[in-house]
Chain A
Amino acid sequence: MASSSSSATAAEATERRGIPAASFVGDVQTYLNQLGLDVNSTLSFLQERLQQYKLVEMKLLAQQRDLQAKIPDIEKCLDVVSTLQAKKGTGEALLADFEVSEGIYSRARIEDADSVCLWLGANVMLEYSCEEANTLLRNNLENAKASLEVLIADLQFLRDQVTITQVTIARVYNWDVHQRRARQATPATA
């Protein structure tokens, strides 16, 4: 379904990361002629486009929620690593109460932590020195924040396309009502 950019479209991106842009309609009559469809087919085409947009929006929102949960986790890990590094200097042990199982806690004595183990996912855990762990975690945090920004921009673009499509649907519908009224006012002579 090639809705080629209509004559009234400004120089906007015609698509972004696989999301087709909704072409802006300057004049409803011209738009209908361009598409070569009647009003009802146009309306159903636009509705379908709207549904597709909504689907993509759901997907992006889920990704956004995941990223937003990941970022505080990484920050917590950074916190722990920097606490360990701070304690390293003083020579005293760090006493920590940690969860062994749900509702069950135990005490740990951490002495002079030179290295930490980081969970990389996919059942893989690697040992790093405190500095390396710090660097790695900071990189992950930067990447996560950057991805989140791109995602938010995508969502904004998508919402714009949804708005444009909704406005177009309303205008095509109104135009149709207007046409019908005009036709009724001047009944065709037999």
Chain B
Amino acid sequence: MQQGGGSSDTEVTWEDQQNINKFGRLNNRLHDLLDEIKIAKETNENLEDASNELILTDEEVVRFQIGEVFAHVSKDEVETRIDQLKETTDKSLEKLEEEKQSITAQMAELKKILYGKFKDSINLEED
């Protein structure tokens, strides 16, 4: 994303500069958010696969990873733990999606303002 300066006619005020800065910050945060959302979705998928495997297995004791080791845990406890993890991931995924919505909306607002003032002298698209 580039930001061109004003043409020789348009003056850039401090407020414009702050808007441009804010747009940059939001854009960076958006990219970070997209990565975080991807990771959260992958974690969710893994937990889904794990709980499916759990249903299929007929062993009573499952090796559940805690930290760096695999502890021998009863099947029921593993099921509970996986459910807890799934709930946590779901909640954080929801929060991340909400933040993404808000940021996208703010960026659209700023784009309108900045394009309105600078028209062609500024480029706010992803390269």
Chain A residues near B (Cβ < 8 Å): 8-10, 24-27, 76-77, 79-80, 83, 94-99, 105, 108, 156, 159-160, 163-164, 166-171, 173-175, 177-178
Residues of A within 8 A of B8 (CB): 174-175, 177-178
Residues of B within 8 A of A9 (CB): 14
Residues of B within 8 A of A25 (CB): 12
A-B contact pairs, 16 of them (CB 8 A): A24-B17, A76-B68, A79-B67, A80-B66, A80-B69, A83-B66, A95-B72, A96-B70, A96-B71, A97-B69, A159-B21, A163-B20, A163-B24, A167-B5, A171-B5, A174-B5
- 0/1 string, B5-36, CB within 8 A of A gives 1: 11110011110010011001100100000000
Query: In the bound complex, how far is the Cα of B85 from the Cα of A185, in angstroms?
Result: 71
Cβ-defined contact, A167 with B67, below 8 A: no
Residues of A within 8 A of B69 (CB): 80, 96-99, 108
CB-contact partner of A27 in B11, B67, B71, under 8 A: B11
Cβ-defined contact, B21 with A163, below 8 A: yes
Query: In the bound complex, how far is the Cα of B56 from the Cα of A178, in angstroms?
Result: 74
Cβ-defined contact, A94 with B24, below 8 A: no
B63 on the A face (CB < 8 A): yes
Cβ-defined contact, A171 with B6, below 8 A: yes
Cβ-defined contact, A159 with B24, below 8 A: yes
Cβ-defined contact, B67 with A76, below 8 A: yes
Query: In the bound complex, how far is the Cα of B70 from the Cα of A177, in angstroms?
Result: 67
Query: In the bound complex, how far is the Cα of B88 from the Cα of A79, in angstroms?
Result: 15
Cβ-defined contact, B67 with A8, below 8 A: no
Query: In the bound complex, how far is the Cα of B68 from the Cα of A171, in angstroms?
Result: 55
CB distance from A90 to the nearest CB of B (A): 12
Query: In the bound complex, how far is the Cα of B11 from the Cα of A8, in angstroms?
Result: 12
Residues of A within 8 A of B7 (CB): 174
Cβ-defined contact, A77 with B12, below 8 A: no
Cβ-defined contact, A94 with B71, below 8 A: yes
- 0/1 string, B44-70, CB within 8 A of A gives 1: 000000000000000000010011111
Residues of A within 8 A of B66 (CB): 76, 79-80, 83, 96
CB distance from A102 to the nearest CB of B (A): 13
